[in-house]
Amino acid sequence: MTIARLIAAFLASFLFVSVAHAASVTSPDGKIVVTVDVDGEGVPYYTVDHDGKHVLLKSQLGFDFTDENPMRRGFKVVGETTDSADTRWEQPWGERQWIADNHNELAVTFEQGDADHRRFTMRVRAFDDGIGFRLEFPGRANKPVTRIAQELTEFNLAEDGTAWSIPGGDWNRYEYIYSKTPISALSQVHTPVTMKLADGTYLSFHEAALVDYSGYRLWRVDGLRFRTELAPSSRGAKVVRTGAFHTPWRTVLIADSPRGLFESNIELNLNEPNKLGDVSWVHPQKFIGIWWDMHLNHWTWNSGPNHGATTEHTKEYIDFAAKHGFRGVLVEGWNKGWDGVWFGNGREFSFTEAYPDYDLKAVTDYARKKGVHIIGHDETGGNIANFEAQMDASFAMDQKLGIEAVKTGYVADAGGLISCNADIHDPCKGEVFEWHDGQRSAQHHIAVALDAAKYHVSIDAHEPIKDTGLRRTYPNLVAREGARGAEYDAWGVPKNPPSHVPTLVFTRLLSGPMDYTPGVLSLVGRDNTPIPSTIARQLAYYVVIYSPLQMAADTIENLAKYPKELAFIEQVPVDWSQSLLLDGKIGEYAVIARKDRNSDAWYIGGVTDSTPRAPAVSLDFLDPGRTYTAKIWRDGDGADGLGSQDAKHRIAIETRTVKEGDTLAIPMAAAGGYAVAIVPAKK
Ligand code: NOJ
Ligand code: CA
């Protein structure tokens, strides 16, 4: 920043000099320009240009409240500051080790011309691959509590195009198949939502650092004008805050290609740095579990003759894990409370008491001897009040037993989370119901992360609130579900279609890791229903879908039937120093390369929709002058992910010598894929 700009910024921020002209901020490469101003009626707004073209036209900023006048019009600009950053920081674990944070910042303060002179500040950061902005409220002595009825932040798109989205605010949370529609046909959708404008620009709308605020769904008000529709709350006001506060960052990724979206780190950059300190106790790992047999209806979560979580079954899983190098064994249905209707209820769940046929101490002792760790499971049935009352005791118990990760679950209709109060800080006032993406849920997930961290426990939340990059601040938030995962291949109607994973890569997975639970090598769901996939595609998922907790989801009996394929799952890392999109088209195919965090090996995964194809990708990322051995697991002759069991299981496993600059064009069958391990050759 120049001295002159510094002085101007200083004067503007402290003296609130009236700024007559529109303020703007440009991305470091000069391509993205965000302009902020008020219009003739004093309505605060911003615009976004990319490469000299409008992306977002005049888009309003403002708020409605439940107990005070709206903040919509009558504002003037009273302050303007600028800043910039060009740094990098290291992730303790992740899809890439180093993250560059290079942005320019502008903060514009608006003041309303009424008697109260209410103010808010828009702070916007322009990166080369998009923007993030948040709205900041100062504390008010005369009115400490702010009750937001609606946030009026708009995104007014300059042109139509194609969108990939799931519905926002419907009962099944984020577990929907993505629709590909015109942007102008959207109604209310969850974020991230990804779009391709008619001119070829790619956009993805989401938010970063969703802390003590309600998550937003993107609502098309009319034409191409969208607004942040906040998830409702039992209190009426969608957000209630005391003192100074700010909204989460509203993010728009802007890129010329799908690769630009895939490689963006804007949301991580907009989160606060690690608040947990030393997190060497967070262990990225692969795991198996007492799980798929329940989804197939062979075993039950509840007690009875087919109870899955028995001491005996668990020891068998521990033996298998020890033999094949899995660090974790997930055990679902271990605890009291599964008998009766637990969905959207959860009142009976105990998070410390095991069923009598599951000897918690015996299995954890046995696991310890074998170098294996039990992964706990705390399904709440959406009853966050019941879980909050017990979680401290439960995580303390986990630590004593050597349980280093817990899968939580919030199975309830969206809008059906049971909370005993309307704010985590209030005393319990009896049961109320809240949304999975509302403020209360946002509070809950951070409270869980903090309490689990006290006992060095990591969290993998299913039916969670959406991922907004909080793993940077709380690195024990290792994974989450938050989309249709492999469970739908057990019992979903329909099962996940071949386009699902090639869509997730450019939508849900832009927001962070997903516990998809891949590795169903048997390729059949409940009642032997066929899963649309080849066996090679199941291996591809370990590279294509990033998660630091990665499951081999099939039963141990089934995994044992496919030793050559299991060998890839045993070998593939879960922690990476680099991640690259080599090629891809949203919803059609994706080829991803990742470099192992602990060696010089690279791994590639490719998936396609129902169209067979062999995209040519360059190995230009390998070290020059080095020879590598590439072991390839690919769809074999006659393979067909939509065909017979035999056709789905056809695989070719081959080895080639490769070097920097070589091209790979590996054929993928319909609903197929491939996995490659590229290891430096021994000298
Ligand atoms: C839904 C989760 O996604 C799944 O993995 C789990 O097994 C069930 N809930 C039961 O908690
Ligand atoms: Ca689920």
CATH number at residue 353: 3.20.20.70
Question: What band does 10 get if pLDDT is binned at 50, 70 and 90?
Answer: very low
Which pair of tokens denotes residue 385? 């009040």
pLDDT confidence tier of residue 115, bands split at 50, 70 and 90: confident
Average pLDDT for 315-324? 98
- If 0-12 CB within 10 Å is exposed, 13-18 middle and 19+ buried, where does residue 611 land? middle
* Cα gap 427→123, rounded to integer Å: 34
- pLDDT at site 219: 98
Task: Name the residue type at position 10.
Answer: F
Residues whose CB is less than 8 angstroms from the CB of residue 3 and which lie 6 or more positions away in sequence, other chains included: none
Total structural domains within the chain: 3
Asked if the model's pLDDT at residue 427 lies above 60, the reply is yes
**481 touches ligand 1 (CB under 6 Å):** yes
462 CB under 6 A from ligand 1?
A: yes
What CA–CA distance (Å, rounded) separates 354 from 471?
A: 30
Among 254, 269, 284, give the residue marking a domain's end.
269
User: Quick one: which atom of ligand 1 is closest to the CA of 291?
Assistant: 7
Q: What is the CATH number of the domain that holds 108?
A: 2.70.98.10
Best substitution site from 379, 488, 517, 526 to test ligand 1's pocket, by max atoms within 8 Å of Cβ? 379
Residue 337's nearest CA partner among 401, 277, 393, 380 is: 380
In the predicted model, is pLDDT for residue 410 greater than 90?
yes
Cis? peptide before 273, omega within 30° of 0: no
- Note the ligand closest to the C-alpha atom of 292: 1
- Ligand 1 center from residue 294 Cα (angstroms): 10
Residue 361 within any structural domain of the chain: yes
What are the angstrom distances between the C-alpha of 217 and each of 166, 174, 273, 335, 439?
10, 11, 26, 35, 13
Q: Is 460 in the pocket of ligand 1 (CB under 6 A)?
A: no
The answer, yes or no, to whether any atom of ligand 1 lies below 6 A from the CB of 464, is no
Q: Which ligand 1 atom sits nearest the alpha carbon of residue 462?
A: 3
Q: List the single range of 115-119, 129-133, 146-150, 367-371 with lowest mean pLDDT.
A: 115-119
In a domain, 552, yes or no: no
**Which protein residue has the closest C-alpha to ligand 1 atom 6?**
409
Ligand 2 centroid – CA 309 distance (Å): 19
Atom of ligand 1 at shortest distance to CA of 295? Answer: 7
Contact criterion met (CB below 8 Å) for 441 and 384: yes
520 shares a domain with 394: no
Distance separating alpha carbons of residues 268 and 251, to the nearest angstrom: 11
- Is-catalytic flag, 267? no
User: Contact 462/409 with Cβ under 8 angstroms?
Assistant: yes
Count CB atoms within 10 A of the CB of residue 14. Answer: 10
* Ligand nearest to the backbone CA of 173: 2
The structure tokens listed for 424 are: 């985590």
Query: What values do phi and psi take at 647, rounded to 5?
Result: -65, -35
Alpha-carbon distance of 105 to 618, in angstroms, equals: 36
Q: What is the mean pLDDT of residues 547-553?
A: 98
User: Given this model, what pLDDT does residue 20 score?
Assistant: 54
Distance between CA atoms of residues 356 and 597, nearest Å: 42
Q: Find, among 652, 657, 654, 646, the residue nearest to 668 by Cα.
A: 652
DSSP per-residue string spanning 357-377: T--HHHHHHHHHHTT-EEEEE
Classified as helix, coil or strand, 59 is: strand
Which residue, 271, 270, 256, 265, is CA-closest to 510? 265
Q: How far is the CA of 72 from the centre of ligand 2 (A)?
A: 39
- Give the list of residues 6+ apart from residue 483 with CB closer than 8 angstroms, or none: 174, 175, 504, 508, 514, 516
Please provide the distance, in angstroms rounded to a whole number, between the alpha carbons at the two ends of the chain.
50
Contact 627, 681 (CB under 8 A): yes
**What span, in angstroms and rounded, lies between the C-alpha atoms of 112 and 110?**
7
Burial 332-367 (b: 16+ CB within 10 A, else e): bbbbbbbeeebebbbeebebeebbeebbbeebbebb
Per-residue pLDDT averaged across 219-232, rounded? Answer: 98
CA 444 – CA 423 distance, rounded (Å): 9
Find, among 503, 548, 465, 481, the residue nearest to 96 by Cα.
548
The verdict on 455 and 523 lying in the same domain is no
pLDDT at 423 (0 to 100): 79
pLDDT of 16 reads 41
Q: Give the confidence band of 426 by pLDDT, cuts at 50, 70, 90.
A: confident
Residue that finishes a domain, picked among 215, 235, 269: 269
Instruction: Determine the residue of 332, 378, 463, 517 to mutate for testing ligand 1's pocket, defined as the one with the most ligand atoms within 8 A of the Cβ atom.
Output: 332
pLDDT at 2: 44
Q: How far is CA 182 from the centre of its chain?
A: 24
CA separation for the pair 640, 643 (Å, rounded)? 5
Q: 297 lies in a domain?
A: yes
Backbone angles phi, psi at 510, to 5 degrees: -65, -25
How far is ligand 1, taken at its centre, from the CA of residue 449, in Å? Answer: 19
Closest-CA residue, ligand 1 atom 7, reads: 291
**Nearest ligand 1 atom to alpha carbon 377:** 11
**Relative to the CA of 481, which ligand 1 atom is closest?**
3
68 and 198, same domain (yes or no): yes
Q: What does DSSP say about strands 458-462 and 477-480: parallel, antiparallel, or unpaired?
A: parallel
pLDDT at residue 1 greater than cutoff 90: no
pLDDT value, residue 652: 98
Helical ranges in 479-552 per DSSP H: 487-491, 500-504, 535-544
Asked whether residue 16 is assigned to any structural domain, the reply reads yes
Task: Supply 532's token pair.
Answer: 């649309």
pLDDT at 251: 99
pLDDT of 110 higher than 60: yes
Per-residue tokens: 272: 């606060």
Residues 375, 522 within the same domain:
no
Check pocket membership of 560 for ligand 1, CB cut-off 6 A.
no
What is the predicted pLDDT for the residue at 421? 80
Q: Do 295 and 375 belong together in one domain?
A: yes
Mean pLDDT of the chain: 96
> How far is CA 258 from each of CA 94, 177, 195, 253, 320, rounded to the nearest angstrom?
20, 20, 10, 10, 40
Distance (angstroms) between ligand 2 centre and the Cα of 464 equals 9
User: What tokens were used for 644?
Assistant: 């017979």
Same domain, 584 and 465: no
Q: How many angstroms does the Cα of residue 565 sit away from the middle of ligand 2?
A: 26
Distance of CA 324 from the midpoint of ligand 2 (Å): 27
147 shares a domain with 18: yes
Residue 378: CB within 6 Å of ligand 1? no
Residue 670 lies in a domain: yes
Q: Are residues 262 and 282 in the same domain?
A: no
The residue from 41, 487, 565, 660 that is catalytic is 487
Joined tokens for residue 307: 């109870």
Phi, psi of 156 (to 5 degrees): -105, 95
CB 603 within 8 A of CB 678: yes
Q: How far apart are CA 111 and CA 9, in angstroms?
A: 17
Share of the chain above pLDDT 90, in %: 95
407 Cβ closer than 6 Å to some ligand 1 atom: no
Q: Which two tokens stand for residue 665?
A: 């064009």
Distance 424 CA to ligand 2 centre (A): 25
Asked if 559 and 566 count as a contact pair (C-beta separation under 8 A), the reply is yes
**Residue 398, ligand 1, Cβ within 6 A:** no
pTM of the model: 0.96
Q: Is the pLDDT of residue 293 over 70?
A: yes
What's the one-letter identity of residue 569? I
Lowest pLDDT segment from 7-11, 453-457, 642-646: 7-11
227/290 same-domain check: no
pLDDT over 60 at 224, yes or no = yes
Which SS3 state, helix, strand or coil, does residue 564 take?
A: helix
The per-residue pLDDT for range 576-628, each reduced to its tens digit, is 999 999 999 999 999 999 999 999 999 999 999 999 999 999 999 999 999 99
What is the distance between the alpha carbons of residues 302 and 306, in angstroms, rounded to a whole number? 8
What are the Cα distances from residue 532, in Å, to 494, 498, 667? 10, 6, 17
Which DSSP helix (H) or strand (E) runs through 378?
Answer: strand 373-379
For 586, the domain range is: 495-507+516-540+563-683
Arithmetic mean of pLDDT, 337-342: 97
pLDDT at 12 > cutoff 90: no
- Counting ligands in written order, the one closest to the CA of 484 is 2
Q: What tens digit of pLDDT does each residue of 209-219 get?
A: 999 999 999 99
Q: What's the pLDDT at 4?
A: 47
Which residue is associated with the tokens 């009040």?
385
Q: Is residue 410 part of a domain?
A: yes
Q: Give the ligand at the shortest distance from the Cα of 342.
A: 1
Q: Is 258 in the pocket of ligand 1 (CB under 6 A)?
A: no
Indicate if ligand 1 lies below 6 Å from the C-beta of 217. no
Q: How far is the CA of 402 from the centre of ligand 1 (A)?
A: 22
Q: Is residue 555 part of a domain?
A: no
| Whether 315 and 450 share a structural domain | yes
C-alpha dihedral, 55 to 61 to 65 to 68, nearest 10°: -160
Compute the average pLDDT of residues 488-510: 98
Q: Answer yes or no: is the C-beta of 333 below 6 A from any ligand 1 atom.
A: no
Is the domain of 264 the same as that of 330? Answer: no
Ligand 1 lined by 411 (C-beta under 6 Å): yes
* Averaged pLDDT for residues 321-346: 98
Q: Which ligand gives the minimal distance to the CA of 482?
A: 2
At residue 339, the pLDDT reads 98
Write the pLDDT tens digit of every residue in 630-659: 999 999 999 999 999 999 999 999 999 999
Dist CA 558 CA 577 (whole Å): 32
**CA 7/CA 51 separation, integer angstroms:** 30
pLDDT at 17 over 80: no
Do 259 and 188 sit in the same domain of this protein? yes
Residue 244 has pLDDT above 70, yes or no: yes
**Residue 558: inside a domain:** no
487 lines ligand 1 (CB under 6 A): yes
The radius of gyration computed from the CA coordinates of the chain, to the nearest angstrom, equals 25
